[in-house]
Structure 1
Amino acid sequence: MKQWTWVRQHLLKAGIALITIILTIVMAGWHSASNAQSGSTQLLWYGQSAFKLTTPSGKVLLIDPWLENPLNPNGKADLAALKQVDLILVTHGHFDHVGNAVAIAKKTNAKLVSSSDLGQAMVAFSGYPKELVPFETQGNFGGELTLLNGEVKVAFIPAVHSSSVASDGSPATFAGNPGGFLVSVKGGPVIYHTGDTDLFADMSLIPKFRKVSLMLACIGDQFTMGPQRAAEAVKLVNPTTVVPMHYGAFNLPGTPTAFSQALRQQGVKSQIRILKVGEVLKL
């Protein structure tokens, strides 16, 4: 009997030890997942329409990456400092949106997210590496991509503008229809980058599918909507916060001050956040 009692006691101790180990592993995994989810999404503005989006897990997305634009005095240093880029999103083919995309892709192996027409044009005329323009990162308006193991979704939104690419002084080549992106970070913000566009009524449909946390709205006028029409666009989308972009680089008439005034005049409730070049916004 004493022998069996000894055996039962040791089995019980072994069972408790095993359960403790299992719970430790589970808790450690839960703690790591919680830490990953608790990190903030960060958005850095390089000027013009160029942004760097960093997810809570450290994935890096660039949108319209013209880092060496006239508004960014640190353009060359910013370009040199990029070590990791997972995705490059390009709204349309104009030089101030394609920007440094090709150089960055060759350096970091970043895949291109774009309309399929633009992707083909950038491979053929801009030199974007063909192997970095796979089927799974190409789409078209009305479609949505699930990327980076489900951490990010990118929906293709139309824009009222034009799109072409040019190389080595050759005539510009049609590069599909222009667009914007609705970027949804898992457990994080939903960001609408308008690309270059005019105001259009179907913007009102965007919040019917997903509430927009942050709208990056072009305001420059002359080549895109100006402050008054951009304010109306914000009213249609109804984001929590709006950041003006695409102004100042070419002495365009639209300004953040005029945009802020237009938002007030039109009774828009969204908060405006005016970023400085190089400023990081935590979301």
Structure 2
Amino acid sequence: MRTTLTWHGHSNFQIVDPAINICIDPFFEGNPSAGSTIESIAAPDLICVTHDHGDHIGQTVELARASGCMVAAVVETAGKLMHLGVPQAQIVNGIGFNLGGTMVVKGAAITMVQACHTSESGVPVGYIITLPDGFTLYHAGDTAIFAEMALWGQLYAIDVACLPIGGVFTMDPRQAAHACKLLQCDRVVPMHWGTFPVLEKNTRAFARHLAEIAPDTALMEMAPGETVVLEKNPDTCGCHDG
């Protein structure tokens, strides 16, 4: 079995690996760009929630209760999810975890990192997910660009970064291209665009800025519902010098 990444639209991704099935921000109902339904996806082992906004928490509670999977979230958001009906036994660490922390679930290391945004509970976060074979994916959540992204490029060899490009509520295409330069990521999947009228309509501007600002990062453009195979770049190793 090969490791795959599916984009379900907006910031909703699913990583299916031989060891673990991970959903990130499972926003299906009310998502006009959703490429799938909650009933059609393979049951996850883990849900990672980046922050407490409806278009990111999405159907976390329903999916967790139906599948019995674990849920990763910052402590205060984890508490809210328990209040909404996720059993405490299904919350990673029993209470969630916090910025800088790493929890291992079925062999995958889930590291919680900061995001620059807002949240109705807790703080917004991103995740650096290192799969058992070493493949590393960074999901930024909703965020503005911030200089500390360069640290992730020094600490981790990021194979794929999922970055918002929509503007208005997050980075715009030019800022996201600069984020790729800071992260030193091999590939980037643009997200959080096209879902609502106010957001960036397509990825053309991002592609142009990426070619100018971070030409070493390859654009992985995905359509909602599309699945791609994830393979580690053979030219990269476990971490960058830094």
Please give the TM-score of this superposition, normalised by the length of structure 1: 0.77
Distance 1:253 1:114 in 2: 26
Give the aligned length. Answer: 228
Match of 1:90 among 49, 67, 73: 49
What is the 5 A alignment of 1:1-283? Answer: 39-57=1-19, 59-68=20-29, 69-72=31-34, 75=36, 78-82=37-41, 84-124=43-83, 126-135=84-93, 138-148=96-106, 151-164=107-120, 175-254=121-200, 255-283=202-230
Task: Measure, in 1, the Cα distance between the counterparts of 2:73 and 2:65.
Answer: 17
Find the aligned partners of 2:42 and 2:160 in 1 and give their Cα distance. Answer: 26
| Secondary structure, aligned partner of 1:103 | helix
Distance in 2, Cα, partners of 1:43 & 1:229: 24
Name the % identity: 31
Runs of 4+ in 1 over 4 A off after TM superposition: none
After superposition, the C-alpha distances for 1:21-62 in whole angstroms (9 at most, x for unaligned) are xxxxxxxxxxxxxxxxxx4211100000001111123x2110
Scaled by the length of structure 2, what TM-score is found?
Answer: 0.89
Task: Give the partner amino acid of 2:3.
Answer: T
What letter corresponds to residue 235 of structure 1 in structure 2? K
**Alignment deviations for residues 38-95 of structure 1 (CA, whole Å, 9 cap, x no partner):** x4211100000001111123x21100001231012x54xx311345221110000000
Amino acid of the residue matched to residue 67 of structure 1? F
* Matched AA of 2:73: S
CA displacement 1:112-161 (0-9 Å, x = unmatched): 1111111012222x33333322426721111111111xx20000110000
Distance 1:142 1:267 in 2: 26
Q: C-alpha deviations, 1:239-271, integer Å up to 9, x for none?
A: 110000001111234231111111122243100
How many Å separate the matches in 2 of 1:79 and 1:193?
Answer: 20
Structure 1: runs of 5 or more not aligned: 1-38, 165-174
Higher RCO, 1 or 2 (CA under 8 Å, sep at least 6)? 2
Over 3 Å counting, the alpha-carbon distance change for 1:208 and 1:137 in structure 2 is farther
Per-residue deviation, 1:203? 0.1
Cα separation, 2, equivalents of 1:89 and 1:180: 9
1:120 partner letter: G
Q: Secondary structure at the match of 1:281?
A: strand
Which consecutive unaligned segments of at least 5 residues does structure 2 have?
Answer: 231-242
Q: Secondary structure at the match of 1:81?
A: coil
Asked if the contact 2:111/2:129 (under 8 Å) is kept, the reply is: yes
**Larger-Rg structure:** 1
Offset, 1:273:
0.9
Between Structure 1 and Structure 2, which shows a larger proportion of helix residues? 1
